[in-house]
Structure 1
Amino acid sequence: MRPRPLIDRPGVSVVVPCYNYGRYLPDAVHSALSQDGVDVEVIIVDDASTDDTAAVAHRLASADARISVVIHEDNQGHISTYNDGLSRAAQRYVTLLSADDLIAPGALARAAALMEANPRVGMVYGLPRDFTDQPPPVAAEGRSTWTVWQGKQWISLACTRGHNFILSPEVVMRTEAMVGIGAYNKALPHSGDLEYWLRAAAAWDVGRINGPVQAYYRVHGANMHQTEYAAAAVDLRHRLDAFRVLEDPRLGVSAEFRARQLRRVERALSKEASTLGFREVADGGSLAAVELRKFIEGLQQVPGNVHRANTLQAAIVRGRRDPHTAYARKQLDRLRWRIWSMTGIS
C-alpha cells in the first residue's frame, strides 16, 4: 500500500517510564520532541529511581513546557508504571518509549499518517534497529510502503508462528484503542506486551511501516530479551501464558476462532521447543534440552508431541554435536531475520 501524507498535525503522547536510567533520559526525550509533522507531549514517569532520574526529568521539564513529570514515591514495577503513564495520555495517538530507547526521526508522523488514512487501524509498528552505544546514522529515507492486516488475520499469523513480532518501542497506538483495550496485565511481567498486542488486534486492525527504521532499541545486559538458550524453555512458557488471553471470552472474537488459534500456538511452540532442543544438543547444552523436552511434554494435546519429545530425548542421550547442523541453522536464522525485517512477521 502506498503511503499518504499527513494533512494536519495530530498530537502524540510519548510516555517514558524510567527506573534508574537517568543517564539515558535526555536522549530519549529529545528523540520524541524532535519529531517532525506531529505535536508531541512527553510524560516521564519515574518509578522511584535511586539514581538522578527525578532531577534529570525535572530539569528537562523546566526547559520545555511539552514535558510533564510523574514521580512515584514507592517502586511499583514496570507494568504499573506503564499503566500510570498511559492513563495520562491526552493526545490522539500514544507511544510507550523506554528511557533507554529512541524514536527514529519521522517515525511518529509515518505511524500517524497510516492511522489517519485507515480509521480501523489501532496499532502501527515497523522496523526496530538495535544499538549498544550510539544509534547508527540515519540513512536517507528510501522507499516506504504500508501493510494493513485485519486484526484477526494478524492474530492468526502470530499464533501460527508462536512469535512476538514486536520489540516494543516501534509501536504507536490510537489513544482511543489504548483506552478501550485497557491496562497492561500485571500478572505477565515478562510477556505482557505480547498479550497486549493480541488484545489490540482482537478489537482493531494492525498496520506496519515497511522500509524506514521506526525505533532504536538499546542492547545491554539488563534487556529482558537478552537470554541464552538455557532460558529458552522459560521464554516459551511466558509466551504461552501471553497467548492464553485467547481463552478469554471477552476478547471479542468467536470461541471457535480462539480455540483454533490456541491449537496453532501450542503446535508452533512445541515445534520451536524441539528445534531449540536439538540446537542445545548440538551445542552441548543437554540440561537446557531437557527443560525444552519437558515443555513439549506439557503440551499433551498437540499432535505428534510424544514422538517429538521421544526423538529429542534420544538426541539428548546420544549427546552428539554436529557442526554441519550449526552452519545450516545460522543460514536459516539469517533468512528468517531478513523476512521479518521486510514484512514484520517471521
Structure 2
Amino acid sequence: MSSVDVLIPNYNYGRYLRACADSVLSQDIDDLRLLIIDNASTDDSAQVAREIAARDPRVELRLRRENLGPHSSFNEGIDWAQSDYFLLLFADDFLVPGALRRAAAVMDREADVAFTYGRDVAIEGDASIPDIDPQPVDVPYRLHRSRAFIERFCRLGVFQIPGPSIVIRTSVQKRAGYYRTELPHSDDYDLWLRLALHGSIAELDCIQAGIRSHGANRSSELRTRQIMHILHTAEAAECFFTHEGRDMPDGAYLRRLARRGIAERAYWSAVSHIQRGEPGAMELLKLAFRLRPQTAILPPLGYLLRRPDTMRRIKKSLSIGKMPDIRMA
C-alpha cells in the first residue's frame, strides 16, 4: 500500500479538530502521516492538537504564535509532504472510512492520474459525524482526461467537486506548485486547473468525505454568496489562463469558453433568484451581460443541457409543487 500525507490547517476550529483528525488516523493505511498546523488560534485548538499528537506518533504539529494566513499553512504543507499522495483537509470536515485506501488504490493502478475525488455527505452545524454505509472496496471510477476536465469547467463555469475528497499525487502537487495568495477565495479552483495539466483525474463512484456547513464558514446571505462565488470563479479562470493555461494549444479558445460558461451560470442564477423572490438578481444579470452580451438577447438554454444536475433540480422542485429551482451553485 502506498503512503499518504494529510495536512489539517486549523484556525479556531478546536471544537471540530478532534473528530477531523480521528477520521484521518482511523484510515486503513499503514504508512500515514498527519500534520496539523494551527494558525495562532484563540480558542482551545492548540491544546486539542497537543492531545491528538500525544496519543499518536503519526501526528506532527506546527503551532504558530502569529497568524500568517491560510495560504502560508497550505503551502507549508506542500513543502512538508513527501509520501506518494497528499490531501489537504480542513479541520471542520472529515474523511469517510476507507477513503484514502480507495483513492490510493486507483492511483496505484492508474499511473497517469494526477488526483482523485469522490462524492461527499453534508452535515450541519455542530452535529456529530453520521454513520455512513460502507463504501465499495473495489470502487468504480471514471477517468477524465486533462483537457476534457479543463474544458468541462470552462463550459459550466464551476467545479462540482467536494474539496475534502481530493487526494493528489504528491509529485504532481510539487510540480503544480503553491496556492496563489492573490486568489484568497478561489485559489483551489486555480490549483485544480493547474493539477489537471499534469495528468488525468479519477472520479470515484463513492462517498469519500464529509463537508460541515456552519455559520463560521458559510455566508448566511445568499445574494452575497452567489455573486461573490461567481466573481471569484471568474478571477480563478482569468488567473489560470493568464499563466499556465496560456500555453495550452487552444488556451485562448478555452479562456473565451470559460467567460461564456461563467456568464451563463450567472444568468441562470439570476433567474433562480427571481423565482424565489430573493435579492441580487439584477447584479447577477449585469455580470452575465458584461461577460457575454448575447445573454441579454437570447437565454442560454444550452447551458441547462450541459449541467448534469439540471433534471434532478427540476424533478425535485416539481415533486414538491414549486417552480423549478435551477440555481447554479
- TM-score range for the pair, normalised by the shorter chain length: 0.7 to 0.9
CA drift at 1:252: 7.5
Find the aligned partners of 2:190 and 2:218 in 1 and give their Cα distance.
16
Matching of residue 290 in structure 1 with residue 282 in structure 2: yes
Aligned equivalent of 2:252: 259
Structure 1 length-normalised TM: 0.82
Cα 1:247–1:141 shift into 2, 3 Å: closer
Matching of residue 28 in structure 1 with residue 17 in structure 2: no
3-state SS of 2:197 partner: helix
Given that residues 3 and 29 in structure 2 are in contact (C-alpha distance below 8 angstroms), is that contact kept between their aligned partners in structure 1? no
3-state SS of 1:180 partner: helix
Aligned equivalent of 2:150: 155
Matching of residue 270 in structure 1 with residue 263 in structure 2: yes
Q: Residue 234 of structure 2: which of 233, 240, 243 is its match?
A: 240
Aligned equivalent of 1:312: none
Given that residues 231 and 288 in structure 1 are in contact (C-alpha distance below 8 angstroms), is that contact kept between their aligned partners in structure 2? no
Given that residues 203 and 252 in structure 1 are in contact (C-alpha distance below 8 angstroms), is that contact kept between their aligned partners in structure 2? no
Matching of residue 201 in structure 1 with residue 196 in structure 2: yes
CA drift at 1:135: 2.4
1:222-246 C-alpha deviation (Å, 9 max, x unpaired): 2247651343222111001111134
Find the aligned partners of 2:241 and 2:168 in 1 and give their Cα distance.
24
Aligned equivalent of 1:86: 78
Structure 2 length-normalised TM: 0.86
Matching of residue 169 in structure 1 with residue 161 in structure 2: no
1:272-298 C-alpha deviation (Å, 9 max, x unpaired): 22212222223333x511211221232
1:100-147 C-alpha deviation (Å, 9 max, x unpaired): 111110000000011111111111100011112122212133483111
Cα 1:181–1:227 shift into 2, 3 Å: farther
Given that residues 149 and 205 in structure 1 are in contact (C-alpha distance below 8 angstroms), is that contact kept between their aligned partners in structure 2? yes
Aligned equivalent of 2:62: 70
3-state SS of 1:23 partner: helix
Cα 1:250–1:219 shift into 2, 3 Å: closer
Cα 1:225–1:90 shift into 2, 3 Å: farther
3-state SS of 2:37 partner: strand
3-state SS of 1:41 partner: strand
Given that residues 144 and 209 in structure 1 are in contact (C-alpha distance below 8 angstroms), is that contact kept between their aligned partners in structure 2? yes
1:3-56 C-alpha deviation (Å, 9 max, x unpaired): xxxxxx211111000001112111111111111144210000000100111111
Q: RMSD of the alignment, in Å? A: 2.4
Given that residues 102 and 139 in structure 2 are in contact (C-alpha distance below 8 angstroms), is that contact kept between their aligned partners in structure 1? no
Given that residues 38 and 109 in structure 1 are in contact (C-alpha distance below 8 angstroms), is that contact kept between their aligned partners in structure 2? no
Find the aligned partners of 2:28 and 2:285 in 1 and give their Cα distance.
50
Cα 1:266–1:227 shift into 2, 3 Å: farther
Letter paired with 1:296:
A
Cα 1:251–1:281 shift into 2, 3 Å: closer
Find the aligned partners of 1:253 and 1:275 in 2 and give their Cα distance.
31
Given that residues 9 and 91 in structure 2 are in contact (C-alpha distance below 8 angstroms), is that contact kept between their aligned partners in structure 1? yes
Find the aligned partners of 1:106 and 1:88 in 2 and give their Cα distance.
24
Given that residues 38 and 108 in structure 1 are in contact (C-alpha distance below 8 angstroms), is that contact kept between their aligned partners in structure 2? no
Given that residues 267 and 295 in structure 2 are in contact (C-alpha distance below 8 angstroms), is that contact kept between their aligned partners in structure 1? no
Aligned equivalent of 1:102: 94
CA drift at 1:253: 4.5
3-state SS of 2:163 partner: coil
CA drift at 1:69: 0.2
1:303-343 C-alpha deviation (Å, 9 max, x unpaired): 6134259xxxxxxxxxxxxx99x92423x67xx9xxxxxxx
Given that residues 117 and 162 in structure 2 are in contact (C-alpha distance below 8 angstroms), is that contact kept between their aligned partners in structure 1? no
% identical equivalent positions: 30
CA drift at 1:68: 0.4
Cα 1:49–1:165 shift into 2, 3 Å: same
Task: Number of aligned residue pairs: give it.
Answer: 308
Given that residues 19 and 53 in structure 1 are in contact (C-alpha distance below 8 angstroms), is that contact kept between their aligned partners in structure 2? yes
Q: Residue 229 of structure 1: which of 206, 223, 227 is its match?
A: 223
In structure 2, stretches of 5+ residues that fail to align are 300-316
Find the aligned partners of 1:102 and 1:224 in 2 and give their Cα distance.
17
Aligned equivalent of 2:295: 305
3-state SS of 2:165 partner: coil
Aligned equivalent of 2:179: 184
Aligned equivalent of 2:314: none
Given that residues 87 and 168 in structure 2 are in contact (C-alpha distance below 8 angstroms), is that contact kept between their aligned partners in structure 1? yes
Find the aligned partners of 1:253 and 1:116 in 2 and give their Cα distance.
29
